[in-house]
Structure formats: C-alpha cells, structure tokens
Amino acid sequence: MTLPTLPNWIRIILIILSTASFYPQIRRIQLRNSTYGISTAYILFNLISATEHFTFLFALLVNSSGDVFIHEPPTTGDWLNLCQFFVVWMGCLVLFGQAIHSLHANPCRKLILLAIYIQYICISILPEVIDAIITPKETRKQRPPTNEREWMVGLFLSAHAMTILPLSAVFRIAGFIDQSRLILRRRRGQPSVLSLTGLVYQALVFALASGLWVLRVQQPDPPMPVRRPMDWKNWYHIIGWPVVDDAVYALGQWVLFLFAVCWRSRSDARDEAVHTGETDALLGDDEGHAYGGTRTS
C-alpha cells in the first residue's frame, strides 16, 4: 500500500509550530538574563544533533540526483523539509548563544563550549556551504559525477550517515541524562529558568513531526523489509533517522517535564512550602557539576 504524500500546507504548519516551540524557553532566559538550572551539555548536544540533521539533508539536496528524501528536481516539499531542520537548528543555536552569554564568570568554560561546536561545524555544515557556493550547480548536478567529486561527496555522506548521524540520537540522550541529573539535584529556594511550558510544547510538536516524517519521503519500491535487526538498521539509515531522532527528542522533553513537576511536588511537600507558579524554585543548581547554569560558570 502506497502511503499518501504530506501536503505542503501541513509542512508549513510544522515549521511554524517548531519555531514557536522554542519561544517559551528563549523568552524566559531573556527575561532572567540567565540559564541557571539548565545544563549546558543539554543545550550543546541538542545543538549538535540539530546541526547534523540540517547538514545531512542540505548535502542531499544540493548534491543528490534523487532518493527517498529528495526528488529530482527538488520539490517545494523538499525545501520545506530543509526549512524545518533549519528553524530547529536556529532555535538551538539561539539557546546556545544565550548559554554562552550567561557564563560571565567562567571564560574558560565558554571557550571550551565554543571550541567544541566550532570544531564540529568545521566537519559538518561549513564544508557543504563552501562547496555549494564555489561549485557551479551544473557541476554539482552532473550525472554521472566526475570521479573526484563522486569520491568526495560519497565519502562525506557515508561518514555522516554511518557514524555522526546515528550519534545525534545518542547526543540527545546524553543531554537529557545530564539535564535530569540537574533536576534531581534541586533544593528548596534555588531558582531555575527551565520552562515547563516549553518542554510540553516541544514534546508535542516533535512527536507530531516524528509521526509525519514517513509521509514526507518517497517510499522505496519494493518496500523495505523490517523483520530482522539488520533490516531496521538499513531502514534507519535510509528513511528512519528523522523519525527516530525526533521521537527521542519528544520523549526526552516529556520525561524532563515529568521529572521537574514530580520533583517540585516532592520538594514542596517535604519543605512544607508553597511556591507561586513557574517563576519560583523549580530545579536545583549545579553544585560544581561539570555542566550547568550561571552559578557554576
């Protein structure tokens, strides 16, 4: 059975929802001028994952002659898919910039975080952007490609598809674990700028995006088997990486929300204190944790 193609107007709505889902957290940090209570590992790893998604789809879009993700020639829907990855990348980048700005008292950590991300973009999006600018479109779309270009593009895509792209979900899980530990270290009276509203919005939006990804791609003919573990591995590399990664992100945001709410309730009951809304103490501080908010910076 052939699955229907997702209409472009739904893709546009998903782009708007994805953009809006970052607003509560960005706005909250802006008002407090602090990222206290938010793990910088959580921010950095989500940024790396979002950058990798945009890099890989961008590379396919400017170099591919057509596959499950890219039509030949690319359609409006293909560009809208790339646009959604772009707005997610920009949302994570804004949060990263806010985190770097808030590390006033620890320039060493600021330099380490910047160095990690700069080194990553030097092997991801930067080479692709430079290639797209300096290489004529006729050369990039030449079929068959020149031997040198075929080797370079194939090496780049294979390296990302087989190594870095699968790690994007691992990075997100690592970030969620670090943020969860920060939540569980909460003590009464300690402020946090982690937005519970933002966590819920992103859990819902990215769960929806994950479920709709299978309608954005061209289904292989014949359909891919999904019986053995190796079949699932092939499916992930060819079709399922955005499905899995968005699902991991949505689940992680939801778990963080539950952790924050449940831990706040336990702390309130233990301390017999009444807090007024999200602006009161929600999460704990770092207490010298390797990553964290401004107090440890």
Report helix angle 76-102 to 23-32, nearest 10: 20
If DSSP codes are grouped into helix, strand and coil, which group holds residue 205?
A: helix
Q: Please choose, from the candidates 92, 76, 164, 101, the residue with its C-alpha nearest in 3D space to the C-alpha of residue 128.
A: 164
H helix and E strand count, the chain: 12, 0
Confidence of residue 269 (pLDDT cuts 50, 70, 90): very low
Confidence of residue 272 (pLDDT cuts 50, 70, 90): very low
Q: Which residues lie below 8 Å from residue 128, measured CB to CB, with a gap of 6+? A: 55, 58, 59, 62, 156
Q: Please choose, from the candidates 279, 290, 257, 249, the residue with its C-alpha nearest in 3D space to the C-alpha of residue 108.
A: 290
Confidence of residue 2 (pLDDT cuts 50, 70, 90): low
Whether 17 contacts 208, CB under 8 Å: yes
- The model's pLDDT over 98-135, given as tens digits with 9 standing for 90+, comes to 999 887 657 888 899 999 999 999 989 998 888 888 87
Confidence of residue 65 (pLDDT cuts 50, 70, 90): low
Residue type, 288: G
- Check residue 61 and give its pLDDT: 86
- Check residue 215 and give its pLDDT: 85
Q: Please choose, from the candidates 94, 86, 78, the residue with its C-alpha nearest in 3D space to the C-alpha of residue 11.
A: 78
- Tell me what percent of the residues of the chain surpass a pLDDT of 70: 76
Confidence of residue 146 (pLDDT cuts 50, 70, 90): low
Is pLDDT at 270 greater than 60 in this prediction? no
What gap in Å lies between CA 22 and CA 32, rounded to an integer?
16
Which residue do the tokens 């270009």 mark? Answer: 149
Whether 245 contacts 49, CB under 8 Å: yes
The secondary structure of 67-81 as a DSSP string is -SS--SSPPHHHHHH
Confidence of residue 178 (pLDDT cuts 50, 70, 90): very high
Q: Which residues lie below 8 Å from residue 222, measured CB to CB, with a gap of 6+? A: none
Average pLDDT, stretch 33-50? 92
| Region class of 287: left (phi > 0), else alpha (psi between -120 and 50), else beta | left
pTM of the shown model: 0.83
Measured CA to CA in angstroms, residue 295 lies from 31, 106, 253, 281 at distances of 17, 10, 23, 15
Confidence of residue 287 (pLDDT cuts 50, 70, 90): very low
Whether 183 contacts 285, CB under 8 Å: no
